[in-house]
Amino acid sequence: MGLAQVPSPGEGRIQMRLGRMWQRVRSLSERPHNLLAISDLHLGCDLRPGNKLDKPRPTDGPLASFLQHQAAHREGGKPWRLILNGDIVDFVAITLVPKDPAPFEISREERALGLAPTEPKCVWKLRRTAERHPGVFDALAHFVHRGNAVHIIRGNHDSEWRWPAVQEELRRILAERSGCPRRKIDRLVEFHDRFYLEPGFFYAEHGHAHDHYSPTPCSRRRPGASLRSSTSSTS
């Protein structure tokens, strides 16, 4: 009769790690959704005085086609969770101002340099961006209507997502364009202050958080700060 081989302590630890890794890999097939990630679309970046806006931006067609394709083709029958990882709408670059009569007061400086990042003025910028990119917003609305989720992380060009009214306006736009019940939009569209995390599987943040010259105040994180506030549920 042969003798059983007893692994050394080092080999035992390696086997335990491999076992945990295998359990984690197997769990990926059991996840309720698949992930897509996009960043730096800079929608609205050409909304500036003097620019011709009579034609769609060249990248709008391919982006809309991508969203439409993913909405129609699920992998393993699972819905998609689209991570929009910062700088999706370029609020900073938009320097157009409303024509009179404006829905808010506009200073002489704002007429020269663009609107200040107050809540109602950022809502106006988002509405104007949706008008500038109708195909993209229609495709995104259809994507959500098909039961797919959208998670938005702030970047240094769209920290304006911090405003509740701006978040509300995006949900309103998607509901209006899709005909989807508002409660469904509210459930499927979420916002993250700093990053998106699925523990042991996926982590995303906008790169400006590591650039000392560009982080917004909301992007700075204390060393050792809790990750719980932006950790996503996998359900």
Q: CA-to-CA distance for 128 and 98, rounded, in angstroms?
A: 9
Q: pLDDT value at position 10?
A: 61
Q: How many C-beta atoms lie closer than 10 Å to residue 66's C-beta? A: 15
pLDDT tens column, 123-153: 999 999 999 999 999 999 999 999 999 999 9
Confirm if 129 and 47 have CB atoms less than 8 A apart.
yes
Q: Are 98 and 24 in contact (CB under 8 A)?
A: no
Q: Degrees (nearest 5) of the Cα angle 90, 181, 137?
A: 25
43, β-bridge pairs: 89
pLDDT digits (tens, 9 = 90+) for 147-206: 999 999 998 888 899 999 999 999 999 999 999 899 999 999 999 988 888 877 778 887
The ranges assigned to domains in the chain are: 34-48+59-230
The predicted pLDDT at position 15 comes to 65
pLDDT band for position 27 (cuts 50, 70, 90)? low
